[in-house]
Amino acid sequence: MSTTDTGHPAPARRRWREVDGIVLLDKPRGLTSTQALQRVRRHLQAAKAGHAGTLDPMATGMLPLCFGQATKACGTLLGRRKAYSASLRLGVATDTGDAEGQPVTEVEVPAFDADRLGQVLAALRGERLQVPPMYSALKRDGRPLYELARRGIEVEREARPITIKSLVVTGQGDRTLDIEVVCSKGTYVRVLAEEIAAGLGTHAHLVALRRRWVEPFEQAAMVTLAEVEATPAAEPASAPWLAAVDTAFPEVPVLALNAGQALQLCQGRMLPCPSGLPNAAHYRAYDPAGRFLGLVEPGAAGWLQVQRLFVPGAGTNGSSPKT
């Protein structure tokens, strides 16, 4: 046993291992997405980990955590639709756009009826542009914008295209609104709250935000951090909350391969397209044992080529995130 300079036993080095799968964590309030990821990663002792879609510390709800081969799906999940429920406090703006910031403006809340509110919401639905907030992880010259914002520096941000598929009010008080929204990637609900308030002639900030789901996990159950950490670390494969990698692609048609075809695919070689295969942009390839190998796509006429492999040791296009 090694010792430190003080003579005390040195702490044992953590042994990382290969863990493949997706955890749909119900992120608790008060943790950053990276802190939540590292808690689960350390418990699983997973060598590779990444998360798909940052949630602010104040926010709760679905945070897809990807481990091992599943880290290659992080980019795909980041581009999917998301659904949120949020509570707005009208009449008060904060520097961060949420309850963790400092109040910067307080104004009256003018009276408005259901028709006026409906008009405001209707104007915000659909495809449009949204300017990201200063308190965000977007970078300028390699530095996160929130670092500049904390120093009182504001820089111009380019508006980005977003889509608000659904936006409805689920509750209303004298100075509060509860909303539910289904939106594209890149949508800031904090900014949406400010946009709603501006349409009503006032200001607002978020006092609560919960991500209800991330596509394609609309109906999937989440697991709490306590439930994860209550599971024996030596048994991650048997945990019901560790979903298989291919659950990230439920809408992609299946391609069943024989042993020879599976070997060729894992070597990165092209395969002849089987007759009767439905037209699709991608296919989920499986070996005879039902193991998910990866995604293939139509290549040259009559052939299929590797789009991304999800098996250890196989050639891949690009690298996976590692934290």
Instruction: Name the residues annotated as catalytic.
Output: 56
Name the residue type at position 1: M
> Which own/partner pairs from 301-309 qualify as long-range (CB within 8 Å, at least 24 positions apart)?
302/272, 302/273, 303/270, 303/271, 303/272, 303/273, 304/255, 304/270, 304/271, 304/272, 304/273, 305/270, 305/271, 306/265, 306/268, 306/270, 307/282, 308/72, 309/265, 309/266, 309/268
* HSE-up (13 A, CA, CB side) for residue 124: 28
CA angle in degrees (0–180, nearest 5) for 49-322-245: 45
Q: Is 138 in contact with 145 (CB distance < 8 Å)?
A: yes
Which 8-state DSSP code applies to residue 46?
B
Phi and psi torsions of 103, nearest 5°: -60, 135
Cα separation, 98 vs 84, in Å, equals 15
User: Encoding tokens for residue 13?
Assistant: 């080095």
For the chain, give the longest Cα–Cα distance.
74
